[in-house]
Every structure is written in structure tokens, then in C-alpha cells.
Amino acid sequence: MKIAVVAPSCTLKPEAAEAVVAIAAARDDCELVIHPQCFLSDGHFAGPDNARLAALREVMADEGYDAVWFARGGYGSNRIAESAVEDLPAAARAKTYLGYSDSGFLLAAFDKAGLDVAHGPMVQDVVRPGGEAAIHRALDWLVRREPAALEPGLQPGRRAMAFNLTVLSNLLGTSLEPDFDGVELLIEDVAEHEYRIDRTMFHVTGSPAIRRLGSLRMGRMSEIPDNDPVFGNDAESIVRDWCERSGIAFGGRADIGHDAANRVVPFNIRSG
Amino acid sequence: MKIAVVAPSCTLKPEAAEAVVAIAAARDDCELVIHPQCFLSDGHFAGPDNARLAALREVMADEGYDAVWFARGGYGSNRIAESAVEDLPAAARAKTYLGYSDSGFLLAAFDKAGLDVAHGPMVQDVVRPGGEAAIHRALDWLVRREPAALEPGLQPGRRAMAFNLTVLSNLLGTSLEPDFDGVELLIEDVAEHEYRIDRTMFHVTGSPAIRRLGSLRMGRMSEIPDNDPVFGNDAESIVRDWCERSGIAFGGRADIGHDAANRVVPFNIRSG
């Protein structure tokens, strides 16, 4: 299996790329090609919009690749997501796309365009504590659809989606918004204050499209900054509260998050 | 003129209340009544949702008040905004409502319900440097519709709205969303990173409802935290860029923001 790595958001750290290429080489079941665009830098981004878009479109159109793996999040994939799915070549439909966090903008747009996407670990996760396990999990799933890589609550045949909550909030109502009808939605977030989680849950669950979800599960909300005064509700209470207010079934916790334990959530589980 | 002060978001500082009551007393053209709910505290909020809602509904329904002035922002008015406009008593329609920042959730819901709202200084602004001027500006406008209090670019007879950009993003698609058709929209924000301003502008300008605006002007984006690496675009470039991408006419700068110079923006200018 041949996997292309591009960076539609922020610049990939060279040491992360080296470590992951070494892991893949040692596995001997896949070939990883790190696109040079991953190391471009233009202010906040891994190169200007047109360079990030060109690299992404290039690997999408390349029949030689079985999968496109997003290097890392940060911010910026929303700026090219709409253009990325215009006039899709056939080769783009014959591969899998994997990422999370800011890459959620692409997961949404690609899912809406009928492509095969999954929420899961990215290349730069190798630098997290225990990050090597995240890399193996991602590759196990990309290469051989290893069931142990999957988020354990997923049900075969049931549509699922997973998003960073803040990213999801920022794509609602835009051209990237996918169809949530009957979907099991998994959310996670990182480094957001509880008042922001509460406000974002208000926004997300206030959407008529989101109210057509089948159910919602909560992954990890990590690195929550201190609130002054103490907010008064923890993240799970906040999520439960807004599900109850909006009539969305709360399905419990999910094993996803900004950490090395982040499991894979294919939006369409086929052979899982 | 009799003005009620309630706190639908966070707790009002007693020293701010005292200072503003003294200013109003010295003016001798209005009576300010600070509702005791303003000093309640429940975690992040000025009392639980039901207490904040009850105080707000109480002063809205009271024929003795000519205006309701929101004490301060923070976070939380969205949690009671939908209930605040249910089964409105006639007295609620005979008064003016003034606030900004988190109060934007109420401005939106109240404007949608046909009430008379304006974006402008709040009671706790008295503690800002030069804050006394903001208080006089708010009272000058509430008491005698002083033209000098108004944002100078507004045009009589043209619908305008003003919102904190992040608050606006979080009410789009919810039941609070007002009608933006042909409106001149003024935005401002505080303490948001440039990447967040960019992401929020993507979200807001990606809304088909927002694309029906007449034009958009940018107030102050203050206290922007450092971005690492340097983002690459300043706030005005970001706002201009998303207006251009989305086909919204950019009308230049606006004299609003999280500061003592914040001018008043009535959503419906009548006697301007």
C-alpha cells in the first residue's frame, strides 16, 4: 500500500516525518511518501493556499496512491476545502483519507463529495507521549482495516462521523456541511475553556441539521484552561445538558481525542 | 426616563454599579434601577439560568421602565435568549434594549422578535480607562437619542446590526438568527487569535444568510494574542479577504469595540 502525506493546515515537523517514515519502513507493509509541501511555511500555514491545494489535488489525482494521510492539524484546511472537491478525478474516489482536528474541514467536504474518509491519528502525533502507538494504529487501519484500530462503540453499517467540536461549529451552515441525518456523531476538543465548550455546544445543538443526528458521543476534552471563576459544570455535564435541551440522544463517551489513544472513526464502516 | 439594569451573562462588579448610579444621579435626566440579580453568582454566571431569565422577564414586562440596559457581557445570555422572547408582554415592546459582546445573543433574538435593540456600552464599561465617557454616551442615547452617540457611518433609514464576531458565529443557524437581508453589519472582537478570527470569518461569510448582507464594516479587534508563528495577515486583511471571497461588500472601518470609545448602533435607526 502506498500512502501520500500532505499538510493542508500547518507545517509538519521534520523530526516527526523522519520518525514516521522509519516506523513505516520497519513495518514493511506500506510505503509512505511525504510530499515536500509538508515542510513549506507561510505565516501560520504550510505554504500559501495555492501550494497546499496543489499538493492535495496532486496526490488525490494520483492513481499510485491508495490513501492520503494528513500530516497534522493546526488551522487552515478550511481555506482550501471547497476547491479540493471541485471536478474530482476518478483516482480521488479510489482512496481513503485520514486525519482529525483542523482536518475535519476536509473530512466534512470529502464525505459530502462521496469520498471515503476517517477521523484518526495523523503523522505529527508521533511526537506525543506514546505517539508511536497512534502511528501504528493509523497504519494498521489504512493498510489492513484492523478492527482493533476502530473506536470500540462503532456499529458496522451505521453511519458515523467524528469532529473536533470547534471545527464542527465553524463548518455548520457553510458549503462544507455534510448530511447528519441519522448519523452517530463523535466529538472531541482540546484547549478550549468550559464557557467556550458550552457556547459551542449551544451553537452546534441549535442547528436543525444537527438535531437530525441519530446520537452523539463525547470523546476527550483535554487541556481545558482554568476558568475564573470556576465554571460550575464539567465538560461531560455541558455536553449532556445541551443534548437534553435539543432532543439529541447522548450515547456516552467515545475513545477519541487529541492524544495517542485516539481511535479511528471511518465515516462509512464497511468491512470494520 | 427610568432604566432597568439586569445581568443576563456574568456578575456585575458592585463598584461598577455604584459608579454608574452616581453618574446617572448627577445627570438628573434618568433614574437607574440596578436589579439585585446583577450581583448573584453561580459558577460562571450572574445566578442560575432561571434567576437570570426571571429578572430579565420581570423588567421587560414592567411598564415602569423605558429601557433595559445589560450590565455586562462575559458569557451566558444565549442560555436564556430563546425563553426571553416567548409570549412577549406588550410592555416589552415599548422599551429599548442596550448592550454588546455576549449580549449580542439577546440583541439578535430581540431584534428577530421585533423589539427595539442597540449595540453599545454597558454598565461595567465604567471601569475601563475613560469609561465614564462610555456611560454618558449610552445614557445620552437612551435618554435623548443624542446623535453624537451614534456610530458615525450609520445612515438613517438603513437597517444596521452590530455584533461581536465570535458571538455572531455562535448564533448562526440557531433559533436566534435574525434576518440579515440588505443589512449593514458591523463586527468587532476581543482577545481572539488571528487564526480564530480567520476561521470565524470563514464560518460567518460561508453562511448563505450572511451573504445577503448589504455590506460589512469592521470595528476594533483588540487584545489579539500573539500567534506562533506570526499569522501573516492582520485582522483587517483577514476581514477584507473573506468579504472578497464571499462577495460581501466591505464598507471600511467602524467605531465600535471592547473599549470606552464604543459607539451606539441601533438596529433600526428612526430619529437618528
Any A CB within 8 A of B235 CB: no
Contact A197, A235 (CB under 8 A): yes
> How far apart are alpha carbons B88 and B91 in whole angstroms?
8
Contacts of B44 in chain A (CB under 8 A): 194-195, 227, 229-232
Backbone angles phi, psi at B59, to 5 degrees: -75, -30
Spatial CB neighbours of A16, under 8 Å, sequence gap ≥ 6: A71, A72, A123, A124, A126, A127
Interchain contact, B232 vs A169, CB within 8 Å: no
Which residue's entry shows cell 470529502?
A110
Predicted local confidence at residue B9, as pLDDT: 98
B195 CA: distance to closest CA in chain A (Å): 7
Burial B238-260 (b: 16+ CB within 10 A, else e): bbbbbbeebebebbeebbbbbbb
Which chain A residue shows the shortest CA-CA distance from B102?
A199
Contact B181, B216 (CB under 8 A): no
List, for chain B, all residue ranges whose pLDDT scores fall below the cut of 50: 271-272
Any B CB within 8 A of A170 CB: yes
**Dihedral sign from CA coordinates of A64, A67, A68, A70:** negative
Contacts of A195 in chain B (CB under 8 A): 44, 74-76
A129 CA: distance to closest CA in chain B (Å): 22
Q: How many CB atoms lie within 10 A of CB A152?
A: 9
Predicted local confidence at residue A194, as pLDDT: 97
Predicted local confidence at residue B270, as pLDDT: 61
Per-residue pLDDT of B49-75, as tens digits, reads 999 999 999 999 999 999 999 999 999
Predicted local confidence at residue B157, as pLDDT: 86
Contacts of A228 in chain B (CB under 8 A): none
Which chain B residue shows the shortest CA-CA distance from A206?
B174
Q: Establish, for the pair of chains A and B, how many residue pairs have beta carbons separated by less than 8 Å.
A: 93
Predicted local confidence at residue B132, as pLDDT: 98
In chain A the domains, ranked by start, together with CATH numbers, are 2-152 (3.40.50.10740), 160-253 (3.50.30.60)
The SS3 call for residue A173 is: coil
Per-residue pLDDT of A213-223, as tens digits, reads 999 999 999 99
B99-128 residues touching A, CB cutoff 8 A: none
> How far apart are alpha carbons B191 and A53 in whole angstroms?
30
Contacts of B232 in chain A (CB under 8 A): 42-45
Interchain contact, A174 vs B203, CB within 8 Å: yes
> How far apart are alpha carbons B255 and B152 in whole angstroms?
7
> How far apart are alpha carbons B264 and A88 in whole angstroms?
49
Longest dimension (CA), chain B: 55
Host H or E run for residue A114: none
Predicted local confidence at residue A271, as pLDDT: 41
Prediction pTM value: 0.97
> Which of B41, B207, B232 has the CB atom closest to A173's CB atom?
B207
Interchain contact, B206 vs A231, CB within 8 Å: no
Contact B68, B6 (CB under 8 A): yes
C-alpha cell at A231: 465554571
> How far apart are alpha carbons A30 and A48 in whole angstroms?
30
List, for chain A, all residue ranges whose pLDDT scores fall below the cut of 50: 271-272
Predicted local confidence at residue A269, as pLDDT: 74
Contacts of A78 in chain B (CB under 8 A): 199, 202
C-alpha cell at B169: 458565529
